[in-house]
Amino acid sequence: MLYHLSSSQIDKETQQALGTLVDTARHYVTPNNQFDLKLKWSEPAGISSVAHKDYLTQLGNLFYEQVIFLALLS
């Protein structure tokens, strides 16, 4: 089935799905393992490696630190 949706409809549905995902994750993930990162969406691509370099670096560093932490626990 092919859906014809405007980008504003997709954005609204995406925001609702993301909100549900965040609410569900917060229920199962302890607060010390939750991170709140924010970025401004770029048009038309969304996330740009140039425009969002700091965000992507921070996200990568957090992920790396958590993997190392979990590896040291095992």
42 φ, ψ (degrees, to nearest 5): -100, 140
46 bridge partner residues: 42
Average pLDDT on 53-60 reads: 90
Q: Is the pLDDT at 71 greater than 70, yes or no? A: yes
Q: Is the pLDDT at 1 greater than 80, yes or no? A: no
pLDDT at 10: 60
Q: In 3D, which of 22, 50, 46 has the Cα closest to residue 34?
A: 22
pLDDT tens for 3-53 read: 555 556 667 888 888 889 888 988 888 888 888 888 777 777 677 788 888
Question: Residue 36 corresponds to which tokens in the numbers above?
Answer: 């709140």
48 touches 42 (CB < 8 A): yes
42 bridge partner residues: 46
Q: Where are the domains of the chain?
A: 1-32, 35-74
